Amino acid sequence: MTSSARPGGTRTDADAGSRADSRRNRAAVLAAASQAFARNGLSVSLGQIARLADVGAGTVYRHFPTKDDLMEAVLAQRIEELTQSAIRHRESAGEGAFFDFLTEVVVSAPQRRDLCQVFRAGDWPHAVYRAAGRRFDAVLDQLLRSARDGGLVRRDVDLATVQALVTACVAMRQAHPGQDHAMRLVLDSIRVRNDSRDEMPVGSRCSVCDRELASRPVGRPARYCSAACRQRAHRRRAAVRGRG
């Protein structure tokens, strides 16, 4: 026998079932919208999405009163999926976790390419997207800090730099599909290698006189404090070669 409402506002089995149905319908609409946008772009109507989700149009409008609301929810869901992946990489604590995640973001970008149109849309609500974006940025920043503290990423690299590089890699792969080597070269530009003379940490010292070096905003990090020290280093290397 189905239970009914009890004194004091106790929830009934019917109420619980209704809420469960509502959650399932919302999930079905989101899944259908994500699939439809990926296949056919953002021109898909809410009616088409309702048919794909096998629900009534009223159900779609009840959860997402406008198409902008639905697009924002789908985009936020995609960002949350990336956030969860970043968390998994962070918890793996592997040396390559940071770069593995950046590669995943770039390689999987074509699956979300259609939703990039949302950023160029006119006036649409951003609250849900902003919340998802802030959460993603926080987890990505944690990954970056861990890699930087572990000596794997240059100390002058911040979150904005990483975001710019990833955006550049996505655009490059769209223009030149299959150029994964080029993508790796771009991402490797922020990687620290112990055998590289070009990746001196910020705040390093002259390799000749040990004077502290000023950091450079662009170009190669300095190795010497002056032309004189550079010339002395050259003479030392020449002398070593001559003895050999």
Handedness of CA 58, 63, 66, 68 (dihedral sign): negative
> Which single residue is written with the structure tokens 């991402």?
187
What pLDDT is attached to residue 120?
A: 47
Q: For 81-193, which CATH superfamily applies?
A: Tetracycline Repressor, domain 2 (1.10.357.10)
Asked if the model's pLDDT at residue 210 lies above 80, the reply is no
The model's pLDDT over 160-209, given as tens digits with 9 standing for 90+, comes to: 999 899 988 988 988 888 778 888 899 999 998 754 434 444 446 676 67
> Which single residue is written with the structure tokens 């976790």?
97
Give alpha helix (H) positions in the chain: 13-40, 46-53, 57-63, 67-92, 97-108, 127-149, 159-175, 180-188, 227-243
Specify whether the backbone of 158 is left (phi greater than 0), alpha (psi in -120 to 50) or beta.
beta
What pLDDT is attached to residue 203?
A: 44
The CATH 1.10.10.60 domain(s) of the chain lie at: 23-65
Q: Considering only the top CATH level, what class is 23-65?
A: mainly alpha
Do residues 52 and 35 lie in contact, with contact meaning Cβ atoms separated by under 8 Å? yes
The DSSP secondary-structure symbol of 4 reads -
Q: CB-based contacts of 22: which residues, under 8 Å, 6+ apart?
A: 63
The CATH 1.10.357.10 domain(s) of the chain lie at: 81-193
The model's pLDDT over 94-149, given as tens digits with 9 standing for 90+, comes to: 778 999 999 998 888 877 665 555 544 444 456 777 888 889 999 999 999 999 98
- Enter the pTM of the model: 0.63
